[in-house]
């Protein structure tokens, strides 16, 4: 049997819910793969939910099989776009995007300690200084040049 014209799900792969895997990002990849092989460009809700059901793995399978209502959504006989929307909302709520905490930079203390270290190359010092300034929104802009050449 040929796999021509059918998604192989290589882009999205299975969703296991581990390692801070984002459901929203995974769903975008899945939709892209399904849309790529759709003749109309639209994704049939039944095919979408079937693909999700088949690609859930590990923790995500346990969640889907033990959470009231999730199995019902995935096994709806004639799902609609509302069924898909409801599943997506619950899925992304269960596996949200993990936001890394921003490190707080205390500019005053950093700038007061800023100096070229013994043995530190000037370019390394410059890069360290530019990095510190970029943390607080500073930009290194080139000197404006005149468009008229000097005589």
Give the tens place of pLDDT for each residue, 98-132: 766 666 656 677 777 788 888 888 888 888 887 77
Distance CA 82, CA 89 (A): 11
Answer whether 0.75 is exceeded by the pTM: no
How do residues 27-56 score in pLDDT, each as one tens digit? 999 999 999 888 888 899 999 999 999 999
Residue 16's SS3 state is: coil
Taking Cα atoms as reference points, which of 98, 12, 32, 95 lies closest to residue 61?
Answer: 95
3-state secondary structure of 56: strand
Q: Return phi, psi of residue 15, to 5°.
A: -110, 120
The domain segmentation of the chain, as residue ranges, is: 23-94, 107-136
């Amino acid at each position: 049997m040929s796999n021509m014209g059918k998604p192989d799900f290589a882009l999205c792969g299975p969703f296991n819910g581990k390692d801070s895997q984002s459901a929203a990002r995974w769903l975008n990849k899945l939709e892209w793969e399904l849309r790529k092989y759709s003749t109309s460009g639209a994704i049939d809700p039944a095919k979408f939910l079937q693909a999700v059901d088949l690609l859930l793995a590990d923790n995500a399978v346990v969640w889907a099989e033990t959470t009231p209502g999730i199995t019902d959504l995935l096994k709806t006989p004639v799902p609609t776009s509302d069924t898909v929307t409801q599943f997506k909302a619950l899925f992304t709520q269960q596996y949200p995007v993990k936001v890394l905490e921003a490190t707080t930079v205390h500019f005053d203390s950093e700038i007061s300690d800023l100096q070229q270290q013994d043995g530190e190359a000037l370019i390394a010092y410059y890069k360290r200084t530019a990095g510190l300034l970029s943390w607080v929104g500073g930009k290194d802009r080139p000197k404006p040049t005149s468009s008229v050449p000097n005589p």
